[in-house]
């Protein structure tokens, strides 16, 4: 994972900064945006490999950020990480091109494994299919 | 009156659902902060911290309680969303599992253990999600209030023909089954259970073979 670039977008400052610190310890290169507007503002000069994105934020919500990121930088893999996980939101996020939809709080091992798969472009389903062959 | 009741339930549900989301955020912060402390400790090496073992043990307790909090918040969130639709198709397995967890504290104060025994397959019923949960709690209360010596109760889901069944049964047979049945039948919660089941179009009877309530509903066919 050395140097893998991850942008974390969440308005819960304590949460997202601590999460970034833990990922940094594990060799990721992270940066944080505390709202959707800021994430879109810094995107052109700081294109990450993977974006970890909350859904419910003041201002532009996560689904709209996802839509705009996929339009401007489709190579960025977006993982939704939210505490507001309705089935409708999950379906909408996946339809808009999110790689995965995870619930907060998240186990660090699961998050890292998902970031790695997102970077490799390997979904859980295709990984399982590969194993069963 | 029912319309006002429905709106009141929806209001309380909406506020509670919002708060449970915030509780999840709080738990996420505690979890990540505890995780960061563990990360930093692991970077100090085995001899760098004199109280390492006690520290790790305390961190383990924090993590375990966070997991417990997450589970409770998730269940409370589902309960809060129950009034969203006055009628909905629910999976009785999820409903009894949720009730076993949410009512656990009330049961514990009575010295009673609660267990959920879901059916291996989804058992769907088209009904009022709030009222089914009220019925289950009334059934449980009517029984544990009559269990002076404590014990265990199991919420067991099964399919009987075209009907879905929830049995609320004693894990151990009471010392005096007839006295127990009399006491449960006289409980005000039993009366409430009867009224709710009648309102839902369900059936209710006492099963002497395992000393408990049998609640039956028409299974939903999609």
Give per-residue pLDDT as tens, B108-135. Answer: 999 999 999 999 999 999 999 989 999 9
B24 to chain A: nearest residue by CA?
Answer: A83
Is B24 touching A (CB cutoff 8 A)? yes
* Chain A residue set in contact with B, beta carbons under 8 Å: 12, 14-15, 18-19, 21-22, 25, 56, 83-84, 104-106, 108
Residues of B with CB below 8 A from A14's CB? 29, 33
Residue B213 CA to its chain's centroid (Å): 17
Task: Report the C-alpha gap between A68 and A82 in whole angstroms.
Answer: 18
Contact between B197 and B203 (Cβ < 8 Å): yes
Q: What is the pLDDT, as a whole number, of residue B56?
A: 87
What is chain B's mean pLDDT, rounded? Answer: 90
Give the lowest-confidence range in A7-16, A87-96, B6-15, B114-123.
Answer: B6-15
Q: What is the pLDDT, as a whole number, of residue B197?
A: 95
The model's confidence at residue B1, banded by pLDDT at 50, 70 and 90, is very low
Chain B interface test: which of A12, A15, A26, A110 (most B C-beta within 10 Å): A15
Task: Report the C-alpha gap between B137 and B168 in whole angstroms.
Answer: 10
Give the lowest-confidence range in B18-27, B200-209, B210-219.
Answer: B18-27
Is B69 touching A (CB cutoff 8 A)? no
The answer to whether the CB atoms of A12 and B70 lie below 8 A apart is no
> Kind of pairing, strands B151-160 and B112-117?
parallel
The model's confidence at residue A24, banded by pLDDT at 50, 70 and 90, is very high
Task: Report the C-alpha gap between B153 and B211 in whole angstroms.
Answer: 10
The model's confidence at residue A79, banded by pLDDT at 50, 70 and 90, is very high
Contact between A8 and A19 (Cβ < 8 Å): yes
How many residue pairs bridge chain A and chain B with CB atoms within 8 Å of each other? 40
Task: Report the C-alpha gap between B189 and B213 in whole angstroms.
Answer: 12
B70 to chain A: nearest residue by CA?
Answer: A105
Residue B52 CA to its chain's centroid (Å): 38
Q: What is the pLDDT, as a whole number, of residue B50?
A: 79
Task: Report the C-alpha gap between B137 and B199 in whole angstroms.
Answer: 16
For residue B82, give the nearest of B69, B67, B99, B68 by alpha carbon.
Answer: B99
Residues of B with CB below 8 A from A106's CB? 28
Residues of B with CB below 8 A from A108's CB? 35
DSSP A39: H
Give ipTM to 2 decimals. Answer: 0.80
The model's confidence at residue A122, banded by pLDDT at 50, 70 and 90, is low
Q: What is the pLDDT, as a whole number, of residue B14?
A: 87
Give the lowest-confidence range in A6-10, A54-58, B213-217.
Answer: A54-58
The model's confidence at residue B48, banded by pLDDT at 50, 70 and 90, is confident
Distance from CA of B17 to the nearest CA of A (A): 10
Q: What is the pLDDT, as a whole number, of residue A114?
A: 96
């Amino acid at each position: 994972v050395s140097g893998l670039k991850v942008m974390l977008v969440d308005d819960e400052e304590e949460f997202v900064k601590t999460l970034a610190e833990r990922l940094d310890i594990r060799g990721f290169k992270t940066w944080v945006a505390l709202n959707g507007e800021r994430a879109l503002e810094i995107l052109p000069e700081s294109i990450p490999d993977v974006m970890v994105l909350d859904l419910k934020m003041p201002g532009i919500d996560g689904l709209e950020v996802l839509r705009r990121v996929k339009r401007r930088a489709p190579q960025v893999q977006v993982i939704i990480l939210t505490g507001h996980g309705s089935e409708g939101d999950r379906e909408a996020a996946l339809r808009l091109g999110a790689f995965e939809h995870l619930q907060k709080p998240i186990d660090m091992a699961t998050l890292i494994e998902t970031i790695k798969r997102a970077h490799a472009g390997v979904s859980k389903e295709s990984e399982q299919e590969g194993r069963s062959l | 009156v029912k319309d006002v009741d429905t709106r009141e339930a929806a209001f309380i549900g909406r506020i509670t659902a919002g708060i449970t989301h915030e509780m999840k955020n709080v738990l996420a912060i505690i979890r990540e902060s505890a995780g960061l402390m563990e990360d930093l400790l692991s970077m100090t090496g085995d001899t760098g911290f004199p109280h390492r073992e006690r520290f790790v043990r305390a961190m383990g307790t924090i993590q375990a309680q966070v997991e417990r909090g997450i589970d409770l918040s998730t269940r409370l969130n589902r309960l809060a969303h129950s009034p969203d639709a006055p009628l909905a198709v629910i999976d009785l397995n999820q409903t009894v599992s949720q009730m076993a967890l949410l009512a656990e504290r009330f049961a514990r104060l009575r010295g009673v253990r609660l267990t959920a025994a879901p059916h291996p397959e989804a058992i769907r019923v088209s009904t009022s999600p709030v009222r089914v949960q009220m019925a289950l709690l009334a059934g449980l209360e009517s029984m544990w209030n009559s269990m002076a010596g404590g014990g265990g109760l199991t919420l067991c889901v099964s399919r009987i023909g075209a009907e879905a069944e929830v049995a609320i049964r004693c894990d151990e047979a009471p010392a005096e089954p007839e006295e127990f049945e009399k006491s449960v039948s006289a409980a005000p919660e039993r009366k409430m259970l009867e009224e709710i089941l009648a309102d839902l179009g369900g059936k209710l009877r006492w099963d002497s073979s395992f000393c408990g309530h049998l609640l039956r509903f028409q299974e939903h066919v999609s």
